[in-house]
Structure 1
Amino acid sequence: MAQTLETLTRHSATLTSIRGIVHTMKTLSAINAAPYEHAARSIEAYHQTILQGFAAFAFRTGGIRLRQDDALEHLVIVFGSDHGLCGNYNEVLAEVVQQHCGSQTFSKQRLLCIGAQMNDALDDQGLAPEVVLLPPASAEGIGRLAGDIVTRIDRFSRGQPLHHLAVTLAFTQRGEHGMREPTIQSLLPLSPSLLQPEKQWNSRSLPDYTMEADALLSSLIRSHIFASVFRASAEAMVTENSARLALMQQAEQSVDERIEAVEGELRSVRQTEITNELMDVIIGFEALKKKKKPQPLDCGSKNSL
């Protein structure tokens, strides 16, 4: 009985320690998600400015018709996690990427992966990324990662025209009602709608520019690529922390339920042990009372003397 009580006490202490760790992880996930969410909102506002720049450029120049030749090479950039404790976050996106790559007919496909856990998930799907990068450790690192990816896209192009390249972003973004959904977003070739002029400019001040048209268009395209990559990385970090937070909440609830069950069993065992000890004391006391009871004198033997 003493061994059982000792085991339950040790089990309860272990579960309490685990609950402390889970609560800490839940708190960190909630704290870490806020800066990434702010970064995602900020880059979205910046991206809207870039899209307005495309619209102004197209209105001023009368529109540009992009070539729609079939792309020769395909680069898929997959944003995942570098740490665990986020459920099937990486596996769900890896399955979507595998389906997307399998449906394409490019002569050559390459994968660029962000996150070691995502690399393992892609490997399970039979996909082998050429490059694996570390995800940003903070919101400030998103810009550095996005700049690195844009540079790698430039190297990947090797001076080819943009219509010869296909670049796809694969990431998890926030959906409705707090849900998460894997997303496949085409980045290159550029969508023809970007450079289609609006029929009517909603302002009395008509757009104009003083830069060379080619230089301005090149700057707009590079800013569009950077903002799209930045947003994908920020959304991936927001949803990763959201997935970890949800998982830690479930784990905390499960640990609480287990602690309550163990403590109930511990109280029952402790009460049983106390009852048994009291019974031992009572039985011992009754035995001592019987042992000390005085014996009656034999009168017949006394008179004979």
Structure 2
Amino acid sequence: MAALKDIKIKITGVKKTQQITKAMNMVAAAKLRGAQARMEDFRPYADKFRAVMGDLAGGASSNAFPLMAVREVRKVLLVLISSDRGLCGAFNTNLIHTAEKFLAAQEEQGREVALVCVGRKGAAYFGKSRFPVVSKTIDVMGNVQMFNARQVAQEVIRLFLEEAADEVHLLFSRFVNPAVQRPTVQRLLPITSEGLGEGGGEEGPAAAYTYEPEPERILNQLMPMYVNVQLMHAMLETAASEQGARMTAMDNATRACKDMIDSLSLVYNKARQAAITTELMDIVGGAEALKG
């Protein structure tokens, strides 16, 4: 009977865990709708901003703008955007592994590397690693705001202008659908026309724009804003990816709990049947002994 009681306690515990994972799945699904809507509304703006900057940068002299200065790459800065909370499967692990591969590849080329971490999980991991973390921003991924992205952008721009970094790369999770999130690395600084025109989603020849005032004056205002926008876009993509990964992870956990309950119920029924059979045999044996 002790074995039956232990099995019954396990079944009760797994059922309670199943209730928790199911509730977390529903909460993540609700948060995903809001995060995905914000991300999808912002994505066309970020892509178009990127395309316009590519057009402007293509006709400007890189020597006139500090954020366009192309230097010999000796120091590389990686801006890693992860989540502040766990329970989202391999979401943060994939980002961290991608960051480690990128940093190791840069070191193999003889370059110094450093990190700016946005999100508690990435900051906690790399805070104990051999890669230096020069700045970290935590507790902002639950409700991403433009001023959060602006603060990170100001720090990144300062490090680039002070030549603490010759190149700045951005690592975030691109949202594809609730089940698929792809770690993505893109260069943030220096700003050049190479690759900036991609991602707009338009086909056909590029349009010819007339700018007033001249592109050089516009670029002075747009370059810091461009860094803000790209960081905001990356943070929104990562926030939506986090909720999608958490929803998928909790759904898998709920199914695993159901399978475990079914398995434990089968073991419980077998043990109960064995106990009943043993008791019947004892009763029959006692009755036969009385007859004798």
Q: What's the TM-score once normalised by structure 2's chain length?
A: 0.78
Aligned position for 2:149: 146
Aligned position for 1:184: 185
Structure 2 counterpart of 1:233, from 215, 226, 235: 235
Q: What SS does the corresponding residue of 2:7 show, helix, strand or coil?
A: helix
Q: 1:170–1:183: 8 Å Cα contact kept in structure 2?
A: yes
Structure 2 counterpart of 1:207, from 205, 210, 219: 210
Aligned position for 1:155: 158
Q: How many residues align?
A: 276
Q: What SS does the corresponding residue of 2:133 show, helix, strand or coil?
A: coil
Is 2:28 the counterpart of 1:32?
A: no
Q: Taking structure 1 as reference, are residues 216 and 142 closer, same or farther at Cα in structure 2, changes over 3 Å only? A: same
Q: Taking structure 1 as reference, are residues 202 and 213 closer, same or farther at Cα in structure 2, changes over 3 Å only? A: closer
Paired AA for residue 47 in structure 1 = A
Q: Taking structure 1 as reference, are residues 263 and 178 closer, same or farther at Cα in structure 2, changes over 3 Å only? A: closer
> Where does the alignment leave 5 or more consecutive residues of structure 1 unmatched?
292-305
Q: What SS does the corresponding residue of 1:103 show, helix, strand or coil?
A: helix
Within 5 Å, which residues of 2 pair with 1:90-239?
90-104=92-106, 108-122=112-126, 126-139=130-143, 141-158=144-161, 165-175=166-176, 178-193=179-194, 202=207, 207-210=210-213, 214-239=216-241
Q: 2:81–2:172: 8 Å Cα contact kept in structure 1?
A: yes
Aligned position for 1:295: none
Q: 1:91–1:121: 8 Å Cα contact kept in structure 2?
A: no
Q: Taking structure 1 as reference, are residues 280 and 148 closer, same or farther at Cα in structure 2, changes over 3 Å only? A: same
Separation in 1 of the partners of 2:263 and 2:286? 35
**CA-atom RMSD, angstroms?**
3.5
Is 2:255 the counterpart of 1:253?
A: yes
Q: 2:178–2:245: 8 Å Cα contact kept in structure 1?
A: no
Aligned position for 1:64: 60
Tell me the CA shift for residue 262 of structure 1: 0.9
Aligned position for 2:40: 41
Paired AA for residue 64 in structure 1 = A
Q: What SS does the corresponding residue of 1:85 show, helix, strand or coil?
A: coil
Separation in 2 of the partners of 1:267 and 1:107? 64
Q: Taking structure 1 as reference, are residues 126 and 88 closer, same or farther at Cα in structure 2, changes over 3 Å only? A: farther
Separation in 1 of the partners of 2:110 and 2:155? 19
Q: What's the TM-score once normalised by structure 1's chain length?
A: 0.75
Separation in 1 of the partners of 2:205 and 2:241? 39
Cα shift readout 1:161-212 (whole Å, capped 9, x = no counterpart): xxx84211012223589433221110111122459xxx98748xx63425x7
Q: 1:114–1:132: 8 Å Cα contact kept in structure 2?
A: yes
Separation in 2 of the partners of 1:184 and 1:46? 19
Is 2:5 the counterpart of 1:6?
A: yes
Aligned position for 1:19: 18
Aligned position for 1:267: 269
Paired AA for residue 95 in structure 1 = H
Tell me the CA shift for residue 21 of structure 1: 1.6
Paired AA for residue 243 in structure 1 = A
> Where does the alignment leave 5 or more consecutive residues of structure 2 unmatched?
64-69, 198-203
Paired AA for residue 9 in structure 1 = K
Q: What SS does the corresponding residue of 2:62 show, helix, strand or coil?
A: coil
Tell me the CA shift for residue 154 of structure 1: 3.3
Cα shift readout 1:5-27 (whole Å, capped 9, x = no counterpart): 21111111011111112212222
